[in-house]
Structures are given as structure tokens and as C-alpha cells.
Amino acid sequence: MRQQSIKQVIVAGGGTAGWMTAAALAKLLNKDIKVSLVESDDIGTVGVGEATIPPIRTFHKLLGIDEKLFMKATQATFKLGISFENWHKPQSDYIHSFGMTGKECWAGEFHHFWLHAKKMGNKDDFGDYCYELQAAKQGKFGISPHNPINYAFHMDASRYAAFLREFAENLGVKRFEGKIERVNKHADNGFIKSLLLDDGTEITGDFFIDCTGFKGLLIEQALHTGYEDWSHLLPCDSAVAVQTKGTPEIAPYTRSIAHQSGWQWQIPLQNRVGNGLVYCSRYLSDHDATQLLLNNLSSETLTEPKIIKFKTGRRRKGWNKNCLALGLASGFLEPLESTSIHLIMTGIIRFMRLFPFTGITQHAIDEYNKQLQSELESIRDFIVLHYKVTDRDDSEFWQHCKTMETPKSLAHKVALFKETGRVFLDDGDIFRVDSWVQVMLGQGIMPDQYHHVASLMNDQELSRFMQGIKQQIAQRLQQLPTHRAFIEQYCPVDT
């Protein structure tokens, strides 16, 4: 390996991935390294990763980002979960929320008590015992130290990149404008030496971070890292995206609406709505997908529909030699569970924890790649769950999903839950047990058993326990304003 100390880090590509990376490195490692970023104004970004999950708030706290300023700058709204409509079967729906459901004990989570209560005649839905889920259904939101709530954001991804660019440049990040014409490598070991821009500028560095999108100019075209194709597990390969005017009511959740060949997203921002249709081109043409999306919009369009092609999967190495791939350059998992920005964030943090200040070692590379693979495979399994475990068979697409290959890790998790009601997380799982339970129940899996400890309560104790949780949620909900009312007071966008 290369024992040269790392002093100059070059980020290739801007967008969300590039500027998140530059901002984090400059803020947290600024005294030890110099960070530069190369991007071209002529190269657009995909820019549809507009929904997030709660750990982004931790990332912002780490960087010292003011939440209100961030939300104003990105026209952001709050997100309490995702509403999955028509996934289990047509006309069905459930919410995968961010909050904890009920109360857990040493032997297991709350769903065991809910299953026992259900057997004893309780008619309540599992989600009736989750504060965030009920707030989402009622269109309410509020932040208070006395009434905590677990949330993420909907935001304008392009504005987020611009916000982080200003943040990073204020910390000393130097931006180079131009297209990368050639990636130069050291003849002796194949490590990247420099980037040659279209105007003749040569940018040398010790370490390079590839944020060049699907092309992977460094990680793939220069280093030939290889790609592991997951399209046999996640068959959708296309998306069409369009923005529409804002609506009077702003739901504090993302909508994911399944259709005959994929699904449609709806992401409400303060001044507009992000819309898109993810589909499998074997079963739906680009033209028909565009028409289907346009026919299912709730307000007037602001942009022309944009077609995006992708192949689900991952680079065989996220870190190869002196190059790290982040964002779309590292692979693609469709945005069903809003994990795209999260994967950029965890990649940055993992890299900084293993940062090769005094030289690159193979063990550091191997550890990064091992953790990345585990994380990606766990998210992949969670997304496959939505497609595979369904009662839908009303189209060729859904018939294919029901019969397609299932990862062994997912098959085991589903079988364990069906047979015993237990869920155990893998090392790379970013979703908690509550998330797995909400989605598995929502997709129609009802466990055959539950933990015996739940049946140790007598009927009166169980009833008091369950009713106490619901009453507490109802009291907390009364304190909340509507989502729009809170936004207008907390972080209104200047008009």
C-alpha cells in the first residue's frame, strides 16, 4: 500500500454527494488536510434525492448546521415516515414511521404484546400505538423538549447542494470549475495521481473521492473496480421525475403509491411538490410511464418530465486504492426508503473514522468495504421485502416480483418473523426492529407466535397497559399544531 501521508483530498463532482463530502471533511478534518472540489456547471445532477431519514439530523449537528437556516434555504418540510399505498394489495395502505411503537421490555419489543392483545380481541392497528405515525395521519407536527418527536426532512436536493457549497467554501474548500478530461495514474502502482480538466488545468492530490454519478469516472472508468448487478432482485431500472406547484396542505410524510409496473413518489416541499415514477422498462415504456405520472399529479407541473435510467447494484469496492466512491458513483438502490442521502452520510463518516492520515493500508480499505457491503445488503433486503412479500399478482410485473429470487438473508428474516414473531438485526441494518415489523405487518405477514412473556399479563393488566399508551399518544397529539402552521412559524421560506 501507499505509505504517503494524506494532505490533499480532491472531490471529483459536486451535487449532494460532492458538497456533503467537502463540507464534512473541511469542518471536521480542516486542520490536517486541504480539500478541493472539481465540478462543471455544464454537467447536471440527478437531483431527485429529496427525502431523508432521521440520522441526517445527527450529521447536521456534527457539522454545526442551523436547522432553521437549512430548512429555509432548501424549502424543507418535516417528514415522519412513508405512506405505502397499494403495496400489499390494491386499495391497501400502511405507514412506515420513524417513531417507536409502544413500549418494549427485556424479552422483546412491543409487537409481542400487541399480538397477544390481538389474540385476546383487541381490534387496534399496530400503528395506533406510535406517536409519530398518528401525528403523520393527522397532518400534525411540532418540536418541543417536553414532547419529543423523531423526524427527518423533505428538501430541494439542488438547493441543499448550493447550501453546503457556501458552507464548505466558507471553511476554505477550493472549487475548480471544469470537466474532467482525463484521470492520470501513477505508473508503478495504479493509484490516481491527478485530474486533467478540459481547460488544461491539472489537479494533483493524495486522495480522490469520486462523486461523478453513475459514470464513476474515477472508481470505474479509471480503476475498473467492477459492478455487482442487483437487477435480478430489484427489477425497476427507470424513473421519470417532474416538479409541480405546492398544495395548501403539506403532509408530514412521503407518499409511495404502487402501480402495475412500479411505484410513484410524492414529496411535499414548502413551495412545490417533487413527483416521480419508478418503473421496470420491460413492462412499461418511457412514454407510457411519463403519461401515467402526468395523469396522476395533484397540481400543475413546473418542469418538463425527466427520464432517469439506472441499474441497481453496487461497486465491488467502495474504496479502491486511493479513491473512495460516494453517492451514485458507489452504486444505486432505488429511493423507496429514502436511503440515498443517508448512504452518502454514512460513507463520509466511515471514511473519516478510517482516514489514512499517515498512509493508506489494506486493512483500512477492507474494513470500509466490509461495512459498506453489509450496510448496502441490509438496505437492499429491506427494499426487496416490499416487492417480494405481497398479495399483488394483477400484472406481469408483480407476478415477476412474487417469483423472483430472494436473498437468503431476507428469506431467513421473513421466515423467523412469520414463525416466531422475532426480528433480529444484522450488523449493517440501519432500520430498527420497529421498521421491519411495520413493513412486514403492512405487507401482510402475521406471525404464528409471539414471545411468551407477553401472555404473563392478565387481561386487566394488558388492557391498562395498552390503553395507557394510546391515551398518552392522544394527549401528546393535542399539543401539536398542523404541519403547515408549525412550518410557517418555525422556518418559513421568504416569498
Catalytic residues: 79
* Residue that the C-alpha cell 480522490 belongs to: 208
SS3 content of the chain, % helix, strand, coil (to 5): 40, 20, 40
In angstroms, the CA 35 to CA 29 distance is 9
Order of strands across the sheet that contains 227-229? 227-229, 313-315, 331-332
What residues pair up with 331 in beta bridges, in sequence order?
314
Q: Are the CB atoms for 212 and 180 separated by under 8 Å?
A: yes
180: Cα within 13 Å, side-chain hemisphere: 25
Residue of 9, 45, 38 whose CA lies nearest to 201: 38
How far is CA 12 from each of CA 15, 44, 175, 260, 416, rounded to the nearest angstrom? 10, 14, 10, 38, 44
Buried b (16+ CB within 10 A) or exposed e, 16-55: bbbbbbbbbbbbbbeeebbbbbbbeeeeebbbbbbbbbbe
DSSP labels for 310-369? ---EEES-SEETTEEE-GGGGEE--GGGS-HHHHHHHHHHHHHHT--TT---HHHHHHHH
